[in-house]
């Protein structure tokens, strides 16, 4: 590059540059930028499949977020305060995600989650379970893969993690 623009008097100072450029090469393309933006970390969305998450409050929102950070694209079934958490946080993390208002009846909601998971070809579902709730969920959802990343955490631990 320096040889190509030698007539312009361009030089490189690696110790104290006046301009810093970042180059990212992916497949047959190169991306050039002048700054970096920090993100939430984790894996790129979509590299780990799809999930349907029940977001009925903080525990459900955190569970969905943790799976999304691990590369899963999510569809959200919301209840009560979950809709606000999806709109204010999760949808910003994945603007292409879709949200569905959850059925009031628990059995109808379980059928709804299963139908959305089937239609989306989801690899699993994310539920805001406590340890004692897991056997019941297994009976309801059968052989479907169930993720519950906050299962061993107290409500206080969930609140602390969410605050980060």
Domains contained in the chain, number: 1
In this structure, is residue 121 part of a structural domain? yes
Q: Which domain holds residue 109?
A: 50-163
Cα(33)–Cα(162) distance, integer angstroms:
31
In this structure, is residue 153 part of a structural domain? yes
Structure pTM? 0.76
In this structure, is residue 128 part of a structural domain? yes
Query: pLDDT (tens digit, 9 = 90+) per residue, 125-143?
Result: 999 998 888 888 888 888 8
- The domain that contains 95 carries what CATH number? 3.40.50.620
Higher confidence at residue 82 or residue 75? 75
In this structure, is residue 107 part of a structural domain? yes
**Position 121 pLDDT exceeds 90:** yes
SS (H, E, C) 24-92: EEECCEEEEECCCCCCCCCCCCCCCCEEEEEECCHHHHHHHHHHHHCCCEEEEEECCCHHHHHHHHHHH
């Amino acid at each position: 590059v320096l040889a190509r623009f030698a007539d312009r008097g361009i030089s490189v100072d690696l110790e104290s540059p006046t301009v810093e450029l970042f180059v990212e090469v992916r497949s047959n393309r190169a991306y050039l930028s002048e700054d970096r933006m920090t993100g939430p970390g984790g894996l790129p969305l979509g590299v780990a499949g799809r999930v349907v998450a029940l977001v009925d409050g903080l525990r459900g929102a955190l569970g969905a977020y943790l799976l999304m950070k691990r590369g899963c694209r999510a569809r959200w079934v919301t209840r009560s305060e979950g809709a606000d958490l999806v709109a204010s946080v999760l949808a910003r993390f994945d603007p292409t995600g879709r949200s569905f208002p959850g059925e009031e009846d628990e059995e109808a909601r379980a059928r709804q989650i299963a139908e959305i998971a089937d239609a989306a070809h989801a690899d699993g579902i994310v539920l805001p379970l406590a340890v004692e709730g897991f056997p019941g969920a297994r009976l309801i959802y059968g052989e479907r893969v169930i993720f519950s990343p906050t299962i061993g955490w107290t409500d206080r631990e969930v609140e602390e993690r969410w605050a980060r």
